[in-house]
């Protein structure tokens, strides 16, 4: 079962039209940093689904991995990233990431980002899981917010960049495999708009909202990845969904991340009986790769019959905890948990998608003039399992690479003000509860396509998602809720198909019925691409 080319009927001749040299979808670190590196002589528009302050990047706590310490090197960072990726990393992409990290971090410092310091001119380096060195630079436990706030403040000073909020991008408009612009719904005016451009950059983040429990904000419904697929781009590695091991488990909040840095500072995981368990699962104990720690917690919860385990950082002084993890300390205290005295109840939740729009190291996709970076992209950096604190770094390094490529080629792309496009097929209104369908998708995915999977559960999930897709196949989509659910159904189906196809366990993809890694048959990527014959 494939999908129609566009989610809505349209004729650009009848739509309000705006022209820009470059369109960037998404306002997280990848999108904003890309915009800042594009030559100021070009007109850039950042389109964001909600306000510019809402993104996965803003919620990132841990920090940015960079080998600036005198005991570290890009080679060590490369080795750790490759190890965590469980055999599926692109070595070319990882080399770019680790070798260009320092120059981009120095740009952040130039923009005024305030990282924690160990001395007058010495950055403070933290440790996180699967890193062999202390290389995580941070701003307390709100690094993503500090970086994004500074970058957005710089963007607002640039006369060539406009930020357009509450614009829901529906589809990429193409002609003969070439990007011509975007079809969007302006929530502010409740009207459709055609944004014409020479180049489009997708930086929409991941699709954590496919799952009932996730650290991602509500906007993370995979819209960018879905529109790329409908337009003919290739998607890769969709089966690899990373669950963060330690997310607050509280009746009032099951999405607040407890950063990996807490374990990097010596935090210990204990089961419901108070017993430390990680040494039984991996030689690196609490600092094992995320997929290992998440499965270990899952197994301990199953053994004890309890819905959570505990993270113990009580051996650290209260003053130190308040300074190092101010947001976590304050948030937990608001729920009656004093982390200097009390264990933190935690459980895994969906956190990051290794898969996405297939790109090369310059962010190029199969569609001419269409680029992708950040979590929406899959350049092969993360392989089967992302190394902690490589995500913000990816947005910086590859956002910069894309901007450089755009600066190089954009003058060769025509700005055709006479272009027009239209699409029509029969669609019908249905009496359905779209929000109820969305919640059911999330329950299906968390139950059957989570930390541990098997054929029976995956096939059941596929069957349920397929029924919804068939029911809404000719549905008349009219608003962002409709668009989101269509995107969620499409991506859920593709994730399930990829997970069924990969008959092994590797990184974040664990099959109970194929519980070994099979390098002979499966040390390769699963690519999903739409049949462009179906219109």
The ranges assigned to domains in the chain are 25-240+354-412, 246-350, 433-527
Q: Are 249 and 343 in contact (CB under 8 A)?
A: no
Q: For position 501, what pLDDT does the model report?
A: 98
Q: For position 129, what pLDDT does the model report?
A: 78
User: Which CATH architecture does the domain made up of 433-527 adopt?
Assistant: Up-down Bundle (1.20)
The residues facing 455 across adjacent strands are none
Q: Are 180 and 421 in contact (CB under 8 A)?
A: yes
Q: How far apart are CA 6 and CA 231, in angstroms?
A: 8
Taking Cα atoms as reference points, which of 200, 198, 220 lies closest to residue 210?
Answer: 220
Fold of the domain spanning 246-350: Flavocytochrome C3; Chain A, domain 1 (3.90.700)
Give the residues of the chain that fall short of pLDDT 70. 1, 54-61, 534
Q: How far is CA 98 from the centre of its chain?
A: 19
For residue 181, the SS3 value is strand
Domains 25-240+354-412 and 433-527 share a fold: no
Catalytic residues: 290
Q: For residue 157, give every residue at least 6 positions away whose Cβ sits within 8 Å of its Cβ, in sequence order, or none.
A: none
Tens-digit pLDDT profile for residues 264-323: 899 999 999 999 999 999 999 999 888 899 999 999 999 999 999 999 999 999 999 999
Q: How far apart are CA 507 and CA 241, in angstroms?
A: 9
Element (H, E) at 45: strand 44-47
* Direct distance between the N- and C-terminal alpha carbons of the chain, in angstroms, rounded to an integer: 13
Q: How far apart are CA 517 and CA 515, in angstroms?
A: 7
Q: Are 243 and 508 in contact (CB under 8 A)?
A: yes
Q: For residue 433, give every residue at least 6 positions away whose Cβ sits within 8 Å of its Cβ, in sequence order, or none.
A: none
Q: How far apart are CA 17 and CA 171, in angstroms?
A: 15
Q: From 3.40.50.300, 3.50.50.60, 3.30.70.100, 1.10.8.50, which CATH number describes the 25-240+354-412 domain?
A: 3.50.50.60
Q: Are 535 and 240 in contact (CB under 8 A)?
A: no
> Which residue intervals of 243-374 are DSSP H helices?
261-264, 290-304, 318-324, 326-334
């Amino acid at each position: 079962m494939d999908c129609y080319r566009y989610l809505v009927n349209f004729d650009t001749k009848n739509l309000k039209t705006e022209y820009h040299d470059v369109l960037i979808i998404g306002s997280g670190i990848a999108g904003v940093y890309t915009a800042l590196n594009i030559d100021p002589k070009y007109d850039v528009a950042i389109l964001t689904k909600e306000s510019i302050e809402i993104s996965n990047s803003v919620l990132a706590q841990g920090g940015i991995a960079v080998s600036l310490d005198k005991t570290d090197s890009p080679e060590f960072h490369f080795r750790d990233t490759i190890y965590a990726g469980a055999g599926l990393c692109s070595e070319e992409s990882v080399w770019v990431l680790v070798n260009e990290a320092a120059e981009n971090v120095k740009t952040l410092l130039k923009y005024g980002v305030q990282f924690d310091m160990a001395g007058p001119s010495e950055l403070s380096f933290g440790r996180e899981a699967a890193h062999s060195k202390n290389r995580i630079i941070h701003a307390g436990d709100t690094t993503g917010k500090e970086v994004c706030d500074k970058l957005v403040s710089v963007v607002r000073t640039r006369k060539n960049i406009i930020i357009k909020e509450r614009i829901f991008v529906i589809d990429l408009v193409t002609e003969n495999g070439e990007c011509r612009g975007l079809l969007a719904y302006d929530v502010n005016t409740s009207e459709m708009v055609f944004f014409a451009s020479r180049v489009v950059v997708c930086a929409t983040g991941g699709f954590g909202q496919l799952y009932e429990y996730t650290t991602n904000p509500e906007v993370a419904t995979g819209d960018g990845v879905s529109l790329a697929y409908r337009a003919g781009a290739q998607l890769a590695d969709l089966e690899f969904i990373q669950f963060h091991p330690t997310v607050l488990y509280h009746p009032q909040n099951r999405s607040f991340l407890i950063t990996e840095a807490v374990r990097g500072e010596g935090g210990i995981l204990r089961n419901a009986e108070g017993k430390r368990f990680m040494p039984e699962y991996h030689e690196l104990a609490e600092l094992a790769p995320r997929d290992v720690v998440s499965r270990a917690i899952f197994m301990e919860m199953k053994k004890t019959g309890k819905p959570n385990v505990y993270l113990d950082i009580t051996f650290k002084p209260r003053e130190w905890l308040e300074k190092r993890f101010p947001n976590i300390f304050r948030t937990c205290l608001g729920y009656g948990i004093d982390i200097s005295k009390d264990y933190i109840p935690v459980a895994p939740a969906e956190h990051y998608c290794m898969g996405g729009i297939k790109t090369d190291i310059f962010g190029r996709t199969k569609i001419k003039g269409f680029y992708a970076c950040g979590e929406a992209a899959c350049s092969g950096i993360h392989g089967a399992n992302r190394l902690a604190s490589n995500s913000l770094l990816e947005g910086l390094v590859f956002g910069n690479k894309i901007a450089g490529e755009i600066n190089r080629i954009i003058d060769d792309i025509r700005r055709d003000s006479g272009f027009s496009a239209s699409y029509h097929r029969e669609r019908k209104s249905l009496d359905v509860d779209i929000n109820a369908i969305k919640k059911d998708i999330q329950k299906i995915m968390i139950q059957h396509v989570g930390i541990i999977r098997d054929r029976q559960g995956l096939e059941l999930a596929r069957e349920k998602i397929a029924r919804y897709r068939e029911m809404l196949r000719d549905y008349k989509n009219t608003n962002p809720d409709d668009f989101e659910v269509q995107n969620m159904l499409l991506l859920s189906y593709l994730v399930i198909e990829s997970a069924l196809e990969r008959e092994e366990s590797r990184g974040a993809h664990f099959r109970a019925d194929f519980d070994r890694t099979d390098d002979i048959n499966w040390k390769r990527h699963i690519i999903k691409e739409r049949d462009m014959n179906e219109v």
